[in-house]
Structure 1
Amino acid sequence: MGYRRGAWIVAGVLLLASPWASAGEPVTQQRLRWDASTLGNHRYLVQVAAPAAAVHVVIPWRRRDAHPEQVAVIVTGPDGKPVANVLRGGMSQAQGELVFEAAQAGSYAVYYQPYVSRGRSNYPTVNYAEPKDTADAAWVHTVGTDARAWRKLPEAKVSRYEAVDDFDAYTSMERTATPEEVNALLAARANERLLVFPETREHPVRMFDALPESWARRGTGGALSDSALRGEYLSFQLGAWAPRGKVDDVRVSFSDLHHDSGASIPATALTCLNLGGVDYAGKPFTTRVDVPEGRVQPLWVGLDIPASALPGVYRGEVTVAADGVPAQKIPLAITVEAGQAVAHGDDNPTRLTRLRWLDSTLAQDDALVKPFTAITARGATLDLLGREVKLDANGLPAQITSHFNERMTGFAARPTAMLAAPMRLVVEDASGTHVLKGSRAPSVQTDGPAKVHWQVPGVAGPLQGDVQASLEADGTLVYSIALTAKHAVTLRDIRLEMPLSHGMAQYQLGLGRTGDHAPADFQWKWNVQNNQDGAWIGAVNAGLEFHLRDEHYLRPLNTNFYHQQPLRMPVSWDNAGQGGIRLHNDREAYAVEAFSGPRTMQVGETLHYDLVLRITPFKTIKPSAHFAERFFHKYGDLDAIKADGANVVNIHHATPINPWINYPFLEPAAMRAYIDAAHGRGMRVKIYDTVRELSDRSPELPVLESLGHEVISAGKGGGFSWLQEHLDGDYIAAWHVPENRDAAVINAGQSRWHNFYIEGLDWLARNEGIDGLYLDDVAYDRTTMKRVRKVLEARRPHPLIDLHSASQYNPRDGYINSALLYMELFPYIDRLWFGEEFDYEKTSPAYWLTEISGIPYGLMGEMLQNDGNPWRGMLFGMTNRLGWSPGSDPRGLWKLWDGFGIEQAAMIGWWVHDAPVSTGRDDVLATSYVRRGSKTLIALASWAPARTDVKLVIDWQALGLSPRKVRLVAPAVAGFQPQAMFKPGDAIPVEPGNGWLIVVE
């Protein structure tokens, strides 16, 4: 993922510069106090009154790391140089004892968590330095090693704790209580199994395996007092500690809050985020919370204060109960101030008012998204944009047709039938073959203009069937098929048969194959090492994506992390490794058979043979809009960008206006100024923001950590030092930007953080004026992607969303095709950038068409790796992206486009059967950009192994030109081609991997 630029270190200060005209001052982050890479992030300063051969000090550091005795300590003198003569005494979490030589009086620094960072800077491996004996033997002999004798030495005075910067500093909630303090607290609370500590949002719980000093000194229980504005969302915590054994099923309930005047805030205004909420799909859920012995479980509570609340103090109580534990009541005293909160307080992330976003249902509906049209039902025939689905009596598709034309710019006079025969679900036993039959015709119900559903009961021999299905306006069919045994039975197979028409089944990708012509015969088996559960098969204007799942499906992690949360093998389809998929070309059809193999089922046992189908293309391509939108993919000076001809700017993270990965809320003034300046120049700005990993700068991170692994994926920890020092260790370390010390953790694939993300985009569109998103690989599914599109369309005119992916076809990502991984998102995005690690040189035209271009799905794109192949790219309307690297410079092609008038041309690709220009070869291809009756731009590109002379086959009538009156001119374009002239019928020389752009006029 070679992106993230725009930050510079100067004299130890991180400068995030602002190179746009009249858009504010540079953003300067806090200066680092010392070189953390050699000394670590934390130190204590100690004062030595007079030089001495040895001084003694006990540092009450109250550390949260479990084994301080295993970590080195570095002492530096007033001159900043390391002191070699140092002896370590007792090292515990509570304190550390040291003796060191003090050659001069003054301030000495004790660095107590030095680390060594190795590996790739963006995925660092940080290990804490082990203790080393650096003391001179003679000095050790003089000082001795008897700790009792050390106490007679001159005593150094502990001055203060410091961190390398404010962000790295341990908070008061990370100073551990000493064993003596813990024992005293427990003695005062003899036999209590659950101790509850109320705490305000200003002091989020950061330790889950230790008690903070402040709690041990203060004691358990007591009232929670806080204040907020009218209309503000106030959050607070209840820290539940189980010191004497596991505590099961912790529950929280609330009373109404009462004002002295008799006014009240109802109990329903309070919620506990840890005990449930609304999931990413808009469904309510509850969570059971158990507290293991010795653990602290923060229970985060949100109070949505009504905007109409009477100012003053509201009193009530929170009750905390658990199995076998007496209920505890925590008094609440909430002062509602006279002021009015703006947007619940959301404009200040540090106030944690945005926690209410976790349960948002914004844009969670069945409304339409452009350009899709409402689904219409004519009995069992369902019409949607460019496609039609006819249901069989069992609820499965009897026929699917596409009305898209091969040019992908409109609709054909004759539709393309995708199925050679109806799909069938077949059950085979000793008595024969039984096809699932519906007991009644499907009755289609409308959920909204963008969704319909139906249910069909049925039977397949010994199995009772229940088919529940839905169709959405983008062309997604979702089937939940439950098969229940009417009696104990031994089966030979349960399989799905999809007989595809030969005309449609031209290309295939997925199942461990990269995009190419559909194989004549191929077989695939389930394997958890591979992120594979389906495929796409089709032609440019008619295709079908399918995935086989069961009721336990959970989206795997992607982009380097697949094996840490791999595909859950569907019990039904996989059948302990006996299931698989066969593709074979029969005389009647291109047959797709998903089989599950022999098994036995007990009476009443149910298996779920779930199926997801997507009908492609999703929409038409719009070449004129594609060519008009010129991307600059880097943060930079807006006037210079505009002068280069770009009009859309993509802003990564690690830039002045968007410093932190996937948390673009902490520099709002700088972001707004830049975007306003761009809009004033007629330009649009899109920002990097997605859900896959989350910056450690997110103020909500402690709350997310308290939710277990609902939002933060489980893992082995490690990574950059901040993560290891401030998180609980059970996470996956993700991207790190060394320039601004931004470290991230991996998010779970499906969680309430998606709700937060949607609300965040709405906030950005309303308050910052963003014109869209740059998505750099994505960890959410189409449910969230639809909401993204709806939110942006509601707030911004013509928002743009482009998706970049590195090739996922590798062992660490489970050999999944990027196009297949993200196809569910394609209906709602505008452009692809595929991408890093894609091979533009050694892959076939079929690979380019299906894996890179996006055209069979209704998208166009651009190239990235090694700046792409410009000649082959122009066959698909693709260039590289300006600003990305010194070699990525499409300005010469942009100039040619403008001179030709490409935005007024009809793009007719080499894949169109009656294309007006061709070469008569399969290894040298031509795409035409036709301005009929005026001129045509011909893109030629070669896959031939050697130089080839080609003669163009031109349908002059289709071009509206006369061969006697035209000339063929190849304009000079730097880095692309020299100027050349040809006549109709000339043999045009084409170098291998090269090509031409020829204007016919």
Structure 2
Amino acid sequence: MKLISIFFLNIFFSISLYAQEISHSVSKQLWPDVLGNHRAVILVGQNVDAAEVKIEWRRKDWDADQKAIVITDEKGNKIDNIYRINITREEGQFVFQPLNGAGKYYVYYYAWSGSKNIGGFSGDYLKREKAPNNEWLTKNELTSDKTKLVQAKVLEIQARTAFDSFFPMEVVAKQVEVERLIKKSAASYLVFPEDRKFPIKMFDDIPYKWISKGTSALFAGTAQRNEYYVFQLGVFAGKQNLKNVKIEYINSPFPATCFNTEGYSTKGDFFTKIVDVKKGKVQPFWIGLDIPLDAKPGLKEFQVRVKPENASASIIRVKINVTKDVLANRGDDETWRHSRLRWLNSKLGINDDVVKPYQNLKVQDQKITASSAEVVLKKDGLPASIVANGNPLLAAPLAFNILVNNQLLAFSSHDFKYATREAGKVSWESISFNDKLKLVCKASMEADGYLRYKISVNPLQDTKLDDINLQIPVKQELAKYFMGMGLPGSKCPGDYDWKWKGPQDSFWLGDVEAGLFCELRGSSYSGPLLNLYHPAPPKAWYNNNLGGFNIAADGNVLNTRTYCGPRSIKKGEALEFEFAMLITPVKPLDTKGQFANRYYHDGSHPEPPKDILESGVKIINVHHANQINPYINYPFGSVDSIKRFVSTWHKRGVKTKIYYTIRELSNQATELWALRSLSNEILADGNGGGYTWLREHLGSNYNAQWFTPINGTEACDAAILTSGESRWYNYYVEGLKWMIKKTDMDGLYLDDVSFDRDLLKRVRKVMDMVKPGCVIDLHSNTGFSKGPATQYMEFFPYINKLWFGESFQYDKMLPENWLVEVSGIPYGLMGDMLHAGGNPWRGMVYGMTVRYPWFTEGVNCDPREIWKVWDAFGIADAKMIGYWQKETPVHTSDPGVLATAYLKEDKILIAIASWNKDITEIKLNIDWKKIGWKPEDRILCPAIENFQPAKNLGLNDTIKVDPIKGYLLIINKKK
């Protein structure tokens, strides 16, 4: 990005290089951005009342005649009288009234009104200017065909900044020029070789540069050893539609690939793409050459064959001069080289290796043992038993039931076998038969306790089914809590029915000691169900809304049943049912890390105050939309500022992480044009609109997302939506590796991401490979996810901390909701609060505070006073025993006031919080035998600003607790 900016600023562009007179440049001085990013500089040579000008602006927008023309003098004074003669996208011809007679004037043609705010752009182009004054029209006889006026001279066309410039690849060729070019050629299409410095940006037009230069059958370039060298071929379908254009290489001295026609998927599978080009359209083909470190210097020649299925092939000769120089990092350190396009086809991290902290899977007969889970399989491939953290979870085996005529079908023949046995993943297959159906079960278990199933139902004859359902019977004693399928985290109901609706596709059932997450899969998108990704429910389970879910308690068993309802299937038509399960907790609870590794997180101002170390902050999150990390999901142009920031705080013993995800991509991405050439593989389709830069350069077929002006700069970050799972995942993994190596950063802050657990596993593997000890924390908004703990649970084995809380109503949430949906404790994680500062009293029951300096207007959320109590007590070394645990030694006399104990050898910190509506008088009930020592007779109630006043309490005193509030109390061991 930086090199290209310098290139634009230091070289005076002139289309006269291509046989035209109008010069293009970047203005040396900024003008108000509401005037638009483009203007023509014109000179009026005489003192006249009316001057005519004709500007060949060669614009991309088809509604140029509907936009306002704004003309000012050199001082910025606006001219009112403008008489339009002819306004098209190719040229503008009009008469105006010079305010000061002879001199320079500026013609702006993309003026807009609106506002630029953090998170969004609101505005539109100004409509046509008001009609000129009739007296001026009459005086200058402008309506007369015989009128002769002084002609103003067009000096140049200017862009406000280099990033705004259209030159040279977005300066549009006129229609007559295009027709002339097509007519001159006998071929049905034309090929334009193009250097990587000039990405092909227009797909509906060709640039004037191609008109002036003409076609060529030669591409020549210079590369270095160890460089991944990239160039383009622009195919213009001038006379006909082109079908299935292939790119082939003849005698290439280096491995070559065309990113538009082939690649590797996110799972590492090779694929090819059919690329059609409609008549009148341009299709760029980006080609990469893998030049090795030991390449012999000299001129290398080969040919590229462009071969449409329905037209003759074109041969392009390629000459690459390989110099003696060796390029570091394949060229990835300089984005303009586009060498990182090869990251799109990366297979980094795609393997079945074990990811820390998990151990190798052990297989004995049909028992598979993971670090904290054990599964015994039946012959049909389903679990006969599941042991979570040493606790048998199932009351009976899982069942995949098929009913015909209200009778359960039996399958007497089974063929069970293991397909693969890797350290981090074991897979198996089972085939079952009866006279009507053949079932094929393919499944796997991973080292973190994650199971994935795909069951194919293959009819051997036309069959009418009453139902197909999945039943998971759980021991009632462990089925304390439930979340998902329309319910927030809550006590598990004994009777519940749900039909497919809303962004919900999964549930969790269990207790802190043991639980099971289940996701019903099979829809087109299987990542977290965010506000931007609401796919249809899984087709097989949904069954046109005949399917659903229910819970039923029966004695000591609580059974969940996911069903599809009645349907008819014909012989040869297979139905595929997919589901995945995760056994919880996924890891031991790290309370020491929770209390020791405190976060500083301020999106707009990532630089903490100098005294932050006194507060015990150990991790800083650098959000996007600031001067250190300005562009959303594209940190590569800011590597220097990030590296400096990381280095500064490493010297002070503080880790630094950055915001970097996938769901949307900044318009500042160098590879934006190459990605656009891939159709909607990576960048989602949409209705366009949004920030003016997007409208002027992308035009259409994009989905505008995040927008923010970057404080202290002229830059704006205007993102567009990505398409979900795509090769951008591969790029993301490689990009993370590069960023860690270049900046020494310590991990990621993930903010409502759209990718799946497979990618997160790759991310964790890369972090462990490059810099062990990297940290990942995950944020979500319940308004988007409708239960983020459910939607993201498959991530939990590979992240360190939760920050679920945006839109959470902490004062209204029941304890079960706090425990299950917010705290992360049942899954082996802990979290921080967010919305409106959370509730500090209730938060401490779950070991949570807000992050510093998180604030909300009118609410003091500063956690540092509580942190002081933590440090004085030494909470990081204490044993946390919550009210939800059987062995808890502390209760209160009122069930609406809950207590959590933080126990040390010589003292205990007790957090109490009320869920009652009224003031409650309580006493502490403490089992000192469980604690193992005798207490002093007094309770210390330290003063904590905005939390509690200091109090003197006796061990058996009554304590008044206000609604939604509580206390932090300390009792010391008797000496």
User: TM-score category by the smaller chain?
Assistant: over 0.9
Residue 649 of structure 2 corresponds to which residue in structure 1? 678
Q: Distance in 1 between matches of 2:597 and 2:944?
A: 20
Residue 894 of structure 1 corresponds to which residue in structure 2? 867
Name the amino acid aligned to 2:923.
K
Residue 333 of structure 2 corresponds to which residue in structure 1? 347
Residues 249 and 289 of structure 1 are in contact (CA less than 8 Å); yes or no, is this contact kept in structure 2? yes
Q: Does 1:822 align with 2:792?
A: yes
In the TM superposition, residue 588 of structure 1 has moved relative to its aligned partner by 4.7
Residue from 241, 245, 248 that aligns with 2:243: 248
Which secondary structure does the structure 2 equivalent of 1:667 belong to?
helix
Q: Deviations over 1:651-696 (max 9, x none)?
A: 1122332121111111323222221221111111111111111111
Q: Deviations over 1:555-581 (max 9, x none)?
A: 36854323xxx3133332111121111
Residue 538 of structure 1 corresponds to which residue in structure 2? 510
Residues 504 and 529 of structure 2 are in contact (CA less than 8 Å); yes or no, is this contact kept in structure 1? no
Q: Deviations over 1:224-268 (max 9, x none)?
A: 1111111101111111222333221111111223xxxxxxx24xx
Q: Distance in 1 between matches of 2:578 and 2:379?
A: 18
User: Which residues in structure 2 correspond to 1:94-493 (within 5 Å)?
Assistant: 94-104=90-100, 105-117=102-114, 121-146=118-143, 148-149=145-146, 152-190=148-186, 192-257=187-252, 265-266=253-254, 269-403=255-389, 415-430=390-405, 432-435=407-410, 439-440=414-415, 442-459=416-433, 462-493=436-467
Residues 117 and 709 of structure 2 are in contact (CA less than 8 Å); yes or no, is this contact kept in structure 1? no
Q: Deviations over 1:753-789 (max 9, x none)?
A: 1111111111111121001111111121111111111
Residue 495 of structure 2 corresponds to which residue in structure 1? 521
In the TM superposition, residue 941 of structure 1 has moved relative to its aligned partner by 0.6
Change (3 A) 1:87 1:558: farther
Residue 572 of structure 1 corresponds to which residue in structure 2? 540
Name the amino acid aligned to 1:156.
A
Which secondary structure does the structure 1 equivalent of 2:260 belong to?
helix
Q: Distance in 1 between matches of 2:891 and 2:454?
A: 46
364-373 or 878-887: bigger deviation: 878-887
Residue from 29, 32, 40 that aligns with 1:44: 40
In the TM superposition, residue 947 of structure 1 has moved relative to its aligned partner by 0.6
Residue 606 of structure 1 corresponds to which residue in structure 2? 574
CA RMSD of aligned residues (A): 1.9
Name the amino acid aligned to 1:894.
W
Aligned residues: 936
Residues 321 and 327 of structure 1 are in contact (CA less than 8 Å); yes or no, is this contact kept in structure 2? yes
Residues 302 and 356 of structure 1 are in contact (CA less than 8 Å); yes or no, is this contact kept in structure 2? yes
Q: Does 1:881 align with 2:867?
A: no
Q: Distance in 1 between matches of 2:580 and 2:810?
A: 31
Q: TM-score, normalised by structure 2?
A: 0.93
Residues 527 and 756 of structure 2 are in contact (CA less than 8 Å); yes or no, is this contact kept in structure 1? no
141-150 or 585-594: bigger deviation: 141-150
In the TM superposition, residue 277 of structure 1 has moved relative to its aligned partner by 0.8
Change (3 A) 1:797 1:534: closer
Which secondary structure does the structure 2 equivalent of 1:271 belong to?
strand
Change (3 A) 1:110 1:557: farther
Q: Does 1:844 align with 2:814?
A: yes
Q: Distance in 1 between matches of 2:144 and 2:624?
A: 52
Q: Distance in 2 between matches of 1:553 and 1:149?
A: 66
Residue 661 of structure 2 corresponds to which residue in structure 1? 690
Q: Distance in 1 between matches of 2:884 and 2:540?
A: 39
Residues 395 and 438 of structure 1 are in contact (CA less than 8 Å); yes or no, is this contact kept in structure 2? no
Residues 306 and 314 of structure 2 are in contact (CA less than 8 Å); yes or no, is this contact kept in structure 1? yes
Name the amino acid aligned to 1:751.
S
User: Which residues in structure 2 correspond to 1:592-991 (within 5 Å)?
Assistant: 592-634=560-602, 635-637=606-608, 639-739=610-710, 740-808=715-783, 813=784, 816-885=786-855, 887-932=860-905, 934-963=906-935, 965-991=936-962
Change (3 A) 1:893 1:702: same
In the TM superposition, residue 448 of structure 1 has moved relative to its aligned partner by 2.2
Q: Distance in 1 between matches of 2:697 and 2:421?
A: 46
Q: Distance in 2 between matches of 1:352 and 1:148?
A: 54
Residue 53 of structure 2 corresponds to which residue in structure 1? 57
Change (3 A) 1:762 1:734: same
Residue 11 of structure 1 corresponds to which residue in structure 2? none
Q: TM-score, normalised by structure 1?
A: 0.91
Residues 37 and 159 of structure 2 are in contact (CA less than 8 Å); yes or no, is this contact kept in structure 1? yes
Residues 426 and 436 of structure 1 are in contact (CA less than 8 Å); yes or no, is this contact kept in structure 2? no
Q: Distance in 1 between matches of 2:274 and 2:429?
A: 32
Q: Distance in 2 between matches of 1:470 and 1:74?
A: 65
In the TM superposition, residue 166 of structure 1 has moved relative to its aligned partner by 1.4
Name the amino acid aligned to 2:949.
P
Q: Distance in 1 between matches of 2:468 and 2:435?
A: 11
Name the amino acid aligned to 2:80.
A
Q: Distance in 2 between matches of 1:436 and 1:115?
A: 70
Change (3 A) 1:992 1:438: farther
Residues 196 and 336 of structure 2 are in contact (CA less than 8 Å); yes or no, is this contact kept in structure 1? no
Change (3 A) 1:489 1:569: same
Which secondary structure does the structure 1 equivalent of 2:635 belong to?
coil
In structure 2, the gaps of 5 or more residues are 1-25
Q: Distance in 1 between matches of 2:29 and 2:691?
A: 16
Q: Distance in 2 between matches of 1:905 and 1:975?
A: 25
Name the amino acid aligned to 2:354.
L
Residues 209 and 296 of structure 1 are in contact (CA less than 8 Å); yes or no, is this contact kept in structure 2? yes
Name the amino acid aligned to 2:247.
V
Name the amino acid aligned to 1:434.
L
Name the amino acid aligned to 2:535.
L
In the TM superposition, residue 121 of structure 1 has moved relative to its aligned partner by 4.8
In the TM superposition, residue 216 of structure 1 has moved relative to its aligned partner by 2.2
In the TM superposition, residue 460 of structure 1 has moved relative to its aligned partner by 5.4
Residues 662 and 690 of structure 1 are in contact (CA less than 8 Å); yes or no, is this contact kept in structure 2? yes
Change (3 A) 1:625 1:694: same
Name the amino acid aligned to 1:388.
E
Change (3 A) 1:149 1:885: farther
Q: Distance in 1 between matches of 2:156 and 2:113?
A: 25
Which secondary structure does the structure 2 equivalent of 1:898 belong to?
helix
In structure 1, the gaps of 5 or more residues are 1-28, 258-264, 404-414
Residue 531 of structure 2 corresponds to which residue in structure 1? 560
Residues 27 and 158 of structure 2 are in contact (CA less than 8 Å); yes or no, is this contact kept in structure 1? no
Q: Distance in 2 between matches of 1:557 and 1:782?
A: 10
Q: Distance in 2 between matches of 1:644 and 1:31?
A: 46
Residues 575 and 597 of structure 1 are in contact (CA less than 8 Å); yes or no, is this contact kept in structure 2? yes
Residue 70 of structure 1 corresponds to which residue in structure 2? 66
Q: Distance in 1 between matches of 2:372 and 2:316?
A: 60
Name the amino acid aligned to 1:56.
E
Q: Distance in 2 between matches of 1:644 and 1:416?
A: 40
Q: Distance in 1 between matches of 2:547 and 2:140?
A: 73
Q: Distance in 2 between matches of 1:447 and 1:32?
A: 65
Name the amino acid aligned to 1:967.
R
Q: Distance in 2 between matches of 1:484 and 1:507?
A: 36
Greater relative CO, 1 or 2 (CA 8 Å, sep 6+): 1
Q: Distance in 2 between matches of 1:752 and 1:79?
A: 50
357-366 or 881-890: bigger deviation: 881-890
